[in-house]
């Protein structure tokens, strides 16, 4: 009888989802109530929960990191217990009216439920009999689940699950705060929650956090009548399903016979909202944390009590510190924005009073981030090179057509075609942003909020246009730096659509048609993105289903029978071996799934050492393999039918009972004194 891995994913994700409020509701609720942040005590219970989620995303990561880093995970759980007690106390103190939603918010609720369901079924494995299909986003989930599992097994900072040069090596050259939260849920859930379930449930809570941020900000920037607020909320939630014009080049590529698995990678991407939620929830969490730090400082005014005036910059600094460990690149953009905003405020007599609080928040954030940043530097995150380089944003069409041109000409052409580049990536949002700037009647927020929005969009545009990250081949800085700018454009697009619905004569007929077409095309792009991410392997590579099922079955057998500290090794010459990261909850000697901070020469040297085990041919006994395993520190070999040693499988299994065996995968204990198979 085949194992139902899809059901296992559903159960583990559901269990993790139910545990996450301990981390993403209780801490924020306690902080919001005790400091009365954003009029917390006068808010309805449903609003409190939404704001608690945002405050928790901003505060919980740094609150868990510091005790887990300098004490143990037990220290982090003690702090969580304190937050839970404070949460219970605050509930008993004022017994809030348990009202969760307003009438008339059905559209927003429908969008939220649809987004949650689409995200959920876009990340779990889909099983058809003995075929198992992971999502295209598993390319990155391989890394994320590996890190989360490593934190559960080894603590903070985690030991690198992909590198074991004879002794554990710490993995510090990567932002991993989001996985600390997932690890806490993994630990709390016991057998009910797997590393996969913890990570997938964190994605669902990130969806809720993004929805909460939209709801919060529409009210924070300009209080609105109930009817307008409800309609704006539905518009804002619905805009998460809108993307750019990527479907055009993708259709052209498909027409020419190119196989497409992901709609974003044709160009230097600005990832759609649905894509970001599925691929990179930690970057969105970093945007939320930093945004809440900004909003906390913006909430200060002349009526703020002295105690709260002191506490707020500290809390804002904690939010910035959380952002640094959730997404260093997004926090980099906010640092640029914060510098621009402080400078602009210092030159404005009306805004100058808030500058000391802003400087204090930045200082607290930097101080709290020092342990993490030092660890990243010690881990060799930049591989010996400066992590950021100055270079105009690439545009695939120009780079392809002028590949042999001098570099200066290529850069000039990139600059000339930059509006076209951004129009393909932003589509409706670029047009809506332009319309918002042109229509002064739509700019309803106060002058300070307008300046904040424009400076944040400017910081995103400057960073995403002129700077590139150099740590890995992908330009993560260029891809993620636009998230804050995308949020501002979404808010402005909400203003545009709200104004249109309130005043039908606001735009000309031609402008309305153009906006509607771009809106429709943006939805088409997002739908195509979801379809490609979920179904590409089912349609393009159906044979993957058999291999994935076998691989997961093998790693399940290893999880059930092998010690948690066993070192399990697959053939490292297979690039991005998804099963090892998605299902293999054990240490490896070498793997590329979390090869951060490992110099290329050392990585290649270790791969060449380990590959010898898998390239043995005409095996008559286990002596050579055991000797190599002992030399390299390998406890269990995970063999694939494509490995050269597979040709000697009959000899191997005749002399040692496999831990797991089917037509595609096999697992054997290996070493001078191999452990017996239970």
Asked if residue 241 and residue 119 are part of one domain, the reply reads yes
How much is the mean pLDDT over the chain? 91
The verdict on whether omega for the bond into residue 157 sits within 30 degrees of 0, i.e. cis, is: yes
State which of 494, 518, 536 marks the end of a domain. 536
Asked if residue 576 and residue 437 are part of one domain, the reply reads no
Look up the pTM and report it: 0.94
What are the tens digits of pLDDT across the range 3-14? 799 999 999 999
The token duo for 4 is 């139902």
Instruction: Quickly tell me which residue has 């402005």 as its tokens.
Output: 492
State which of 505, 536, 567 marks the end of a domain. 536
What are the tens digits of pLDDT across the range 167-182? 999 998 889 999 999 9
Q: What angle do CA 461, 466, 470 make, to 5 degrees?
A: 115
Q: Is 383 left (phi over 0), alpha (psi -120 to 50) or beta?
A: left
Reported confidence tier of residue 99, pLDDT bands at 50, 70, 90: low
C-alpha–C-alpha distance, residues 4 and 8, integer Å: 7
State which of 470, 504, 536 marks the end of a domain. 536
What are the tens digits of pLDDT across the range 296-343? 999 998 888 888 899 999 999 999 999 999 999 999 999 999 999 999
Reported confidence tier of residue 442, pLDDT bands at 50, 70, 90: low
C-alpha–C-alpha distance, residues 614 and 606, integer Å: 13
Reported confidence tier of residue 500, pLDDT bands at 50, 70, 90: confident
- Tell me if 161 sits within 8 A of 147, measured CB to CB: yes
Residue 411 clears pLDDT 70, i.e. is over it: yes
Instruction: Quickly tell me which residue has 């159960």 as its tokens.
Output: 11
Asked if residue 404 and residue 286 are part of one domain, the reply reads yes
pLDDT at 1: 46
Asked if residue 571 and residue 465 are part of one domain, the reply reads no
Asked if residue 192 and residue 234 are part of one domain, the reply reads yes
Three-state secondary structure readout of 544-601: HHHHHHHHHHHHHHHHHHCCCCCEEECCCCCCCCHHHHHCCCCECCECCCCCCCCCHH
C-alpha–C-alpha distance, residues 667 and 297, integer Å: 56
Asked if residue 322 and residue 177 are part of one domain, the reply reads yes
Residue 254 lies in a domain: yes
| 540-544 mean pLDDT | 77
Asked if residue 118 and residue 249 are part of one domain, the reply reads yes
Reported confidence tier of residue 382, pLDDT bands at 50, 70, 90: very low
C-alpha–C-alpha distance, residues 658 and 625, integer Å: 14
Residue 677 lies in a domain: no
Asked if residue 575 and residue 523 are part of one domain, the reply reads no
Q: What percent of the chain has pLDDT over 70?
A: 96
Residue 156 lies in a domain: yes
Asked if residue 576 and residue 502 are part of one domain, the reply reads no
* Max mean pLDDT range (160-169, 259-268, 480-489): 480-489
| Residue scoring higher pLDDT (380 or 65) | 65
Domain count across the chain? 2
| 67-91 mean pLDDT | 93
Cross-strand partners of 159: 170
Q: Which residues of 286-299 are buried (b: 16+ CB within 10 A; e: fewer)?
A: bbbbbbbbbbbbbe
| Residue scoring higher pLDDT (674 or 387) | 387
- Tell me if 630 sits within 8 A of 521, measured CB to CB: no
Residue 103 clears pLDDT 80, i.e. is over it: no
pLDDT at 385: 65
For residue 481, how far is the Cα from the chain centroid? 13
How much helix, strand and coil, in percent to the nearest 5, is found in the chain? 65, 5, 30
Residue 455 clears pLDDT 90, i.e. is over it: yes
- For residue 215, the SS3 value is helix
| Residue scoring higher pLDDT (574 or 118) | 118
Residue 674 lies in a domain: no
Q: Print the domain residue range for 615.
A: 544-669
| 547-566 mean pLDDT | 94
Host H or E run for residue 666:
strand 665-669
Read off the DSSP letter of residue 640.
E
Question: Of the given ranges (245-254, 407-416, 442-451, 651-660), which has the lowest mean pLDDT?
Answer: 442-451
- Name every residue whose Cβ is closer than 8 Å to that of residue 509 and which is 6 or more positions away in sequence: none
What are the tens digits of pLDDT across the range 305-317? 888 899 999 999 9
Asked if residue 422 and residue 394 are part of one domain, the reply reads yes
Residue 441 clears pLDDT 80, i.e. is over it: no
Residue 675 lies in a domain: no
């Amino acid at each position: 009888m085949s194992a139902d891995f899809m059901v296992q994913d559903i159960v583990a994700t559901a269990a993790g989802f139910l545990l996450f409020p301990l981390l993403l509701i209780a801490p924020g609720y306690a902080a919001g109530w005790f400091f009365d942040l954003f009029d917390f005590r006068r808010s309805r219970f449903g609003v409190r929960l939404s704001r608690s989620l945002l405050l928790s995303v901003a505060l919980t990561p740094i609150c868990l990191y510091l005790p887990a880093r300098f004490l143990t995970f037990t220290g982090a759980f003690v702090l969580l217990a304190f937050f839970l007690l404070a949460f219970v106390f605050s509930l008993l103190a004022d017994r809030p009216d348990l009202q969760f939603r307003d009438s008339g918010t059905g559209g927003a609720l429908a969008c939220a439920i649809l987004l949650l369901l689409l995200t959920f079924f876009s990340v779990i494995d889909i099983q058809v009999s003995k075929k198992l299909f992971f999502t295209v986003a598993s390319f990155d989930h391989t890394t994320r689940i590996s890190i989360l599992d490593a934190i559960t097994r080894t603590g903070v900072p985690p030991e690198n699950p992909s590198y074991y040069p004879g002794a554990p090596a710490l993995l510090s050259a990567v932002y991993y705060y989001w996985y600390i939260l997932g690890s806490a849920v993994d630990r709390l859930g016991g057998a009910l929650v797997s590393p996969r379930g913890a990570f997938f449930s964190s994605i669902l809570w990130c969806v809720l956090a993004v929805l909460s941020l939209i709801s919060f900000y529409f009210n924070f920037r300009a209080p609105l009548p109930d009817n307008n607020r409800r309609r704006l909320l539905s518009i804002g939630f619905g805009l998460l399903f809108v993307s750019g014009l990527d479907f055009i080049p993708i259709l052209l590529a498909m027409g020419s016979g190119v196989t497409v698995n992901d709609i974003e990678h044709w160009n230097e991407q600005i990832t759609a909202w649905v894509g970001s939620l599925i691929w990179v929830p930690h970057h969105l969490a970093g945007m939320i944390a930093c945004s809440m730090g900004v909003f906390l400082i913006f909430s200060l005014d002349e009526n703020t009590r002295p105690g709260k005036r002191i506490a707020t910059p500290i809390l804002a600094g904690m939010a910035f510190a959380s952002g640094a460990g959730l997404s260093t690149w997004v926090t980099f953009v906010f640092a640029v924005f914060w510098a621009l905003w402080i400078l602009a405020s210092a030159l404005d007599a009306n805004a100058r009073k808030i500058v000391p609080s802003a400087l204090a928040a930045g200082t607290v954030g930097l101080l709290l981030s020092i342990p993490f940043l030092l660890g990243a530097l010690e881990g060799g995150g930049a591989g010996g090179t400066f992590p950021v380089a100055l270079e105009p944003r690439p545009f695939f069409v120009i780079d392809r057509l002028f590949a042999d041109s001098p570099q200066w000409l290529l850069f000039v052409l990139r600059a000339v075609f930059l509006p076209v580049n951004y129009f393909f990536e932003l589509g409706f949002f670029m047009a809506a942003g332009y319309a918002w700037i042109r229509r002064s009647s739509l700019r309803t927020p106060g002058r300070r909020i307008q300046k904040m929005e424009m400076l944040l969009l400017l910081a995103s545009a400057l960073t995403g246009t002129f700077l590139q990250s150099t740590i890995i081949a992908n330009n993560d800085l260029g891809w993620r730096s636009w998230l804050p700018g995308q949020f501002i454009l979404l808010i402005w697009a909400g203003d545009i659509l709200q104004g249109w619905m309130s005043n039908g004569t606001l735009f000309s007929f031609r402008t309305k048609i153009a906006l509607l077409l771009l809106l429709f095309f943006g939805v088409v792009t997002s739908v195509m993105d979801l379809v490609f991410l979920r179904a590409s392997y089912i349609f393009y590579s159906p044979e993957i289903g058999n291999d994935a099922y076998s691989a997961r079955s093998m790693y399940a057998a290893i999880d059930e029978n092998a010690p948690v500290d066993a070192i399990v090794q697959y053939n490292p010459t297979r690039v991005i071996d998804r099963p090892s990261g998605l299902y293999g909850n054990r240490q490896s000697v070498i793997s590329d799934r979390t090869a951060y901070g490992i110099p290329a020469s050392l990585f290649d040297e270790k791969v060449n050492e380990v590959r010898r085990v898998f390239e043995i041919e005409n095996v008559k006994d286990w002596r050579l393999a055991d000797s190599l395993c002992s030399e390299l520190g390998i406890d269990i070999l995970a063999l694939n039918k494509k490995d050269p040693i597979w040709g000697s499988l009959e000899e191997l299994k005749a002399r040692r009972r496999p831990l797991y065996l089917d037509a595609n995968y096999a697992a054997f204990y290996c070493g001078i004194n191999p452990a017996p198979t239970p």
